[in-house]
Amino acid sequence: METQQPPGQWDVPPPPATPPRALTDVELRVHKRLLWVGGAAYPLRNIARVYTFTLHPKRKEAVFRFLTRAGITLAVAIGLSIIGGLTYLADESAAGGLLVFVWICSIAALIYFFVEMLSVVTAQSHYVLAVETAGPSTAMVTSRDPQHLDRLVGYVAGALENPDTEFQVTVERLTINSPSNYHFGDNVNMYGGTGNVGIAA
């Protein structure tokens, strides 16, 4: 009995899925022309791009945001202190209470801004598999083994070319506290504008 070689490199099915081991595990499978990521279904015909990339926190932006907020907070506190100093000549008790209130609020705001910055600066990067659709939806999963995600790109791409393909694997759910603290997708510089974000071809 002869064994036939598969016609293409993506036609080889991935290894069988193991049952989810933890709450962070999610099932990724292709079945009946649908890509299932956990409980979300994406029709294969609507998938525009499948790729892997490293999701980095916006560390530099977080530091600049903290410095800007700290500068504004201190400027307001100093301005109100000057006004309080001028009213000190008229009413000593009212001005003293105002100054204490202003600096307590300013210190509390600075602590809050610093903790917010620290949560972004200390956040870890994630190597993820992203599935973009023709619409605004994007599904992302991760894995402890980056090569596993790279192989999955091939399996999903193979399913796009051969819609009758079916497979099932277990990956990890991407859990991040605040998506706004991360860079998503490709950043490209476009002439004739500033701050444009798009998809690199």
Q: What is the CATH number of the domain that holds 161?
A: 2.30.29
pLDDT of residue 92: 63
Last residue of a domain, one of 73, 97, 121: 121
Can you name the residues that pair with 127 across neighbouring β-strands?
Answer: 54
pLDDT of 131 reads: 85
Mean pLDDT in runs of 10 for the chain (201 residues)? 42 49 73 85 86 87 94 92 71 70 92 93 87 81 84 87 83 76 57 47 40
Domain housing 88: 59-121
Q: Are residues 44 and 80 in the same domain?
A: no
Is there a domain that residue 187 lies in?
no
Q: Write down the pTM of the prediction.
A: 0.63
Q: Is residue 188 part of a domain?
A: no
pLDDT value for 95: 63
Convert the chain into a string of H (helix), E (strand) and C (coil): CCCCCCCCCCCCCCCCCCCCCCCCEEEEEEECCEEEECCEEEEHHHEEEEEEEEECECHHHHHHHHHHHHHHHHHHHHHHHHHHHHHHCCCHHHHHHHHHHHHHHHHHHHHHHHHHHHHHHCCCCEEEEEEEECCCCEEEEECCCHHHHHHHHHHHHHHHHCCCCCEEEEEEECCCCCHHHECCCCCCCCCCCCCCCCCCC
Q: Is the distance from CB of 41 to CB of 35 less than 8 angstroms?
A: yes
Per the structure, the count of domains in the chain is 2
- pLDDT tens-digit readout, 114-147: 999 999 998 888 888 888 888 777 888 888 888 8
**Domain match, 30 and 112 both:** no
Q: Which of 71, 95, 121 is the last residue of a domain?
A: 121
pLDDT of residue 25: 81
Q: How confident is the model over 47-60, as pLDDT tens digits? A: 888 888 888 888 99
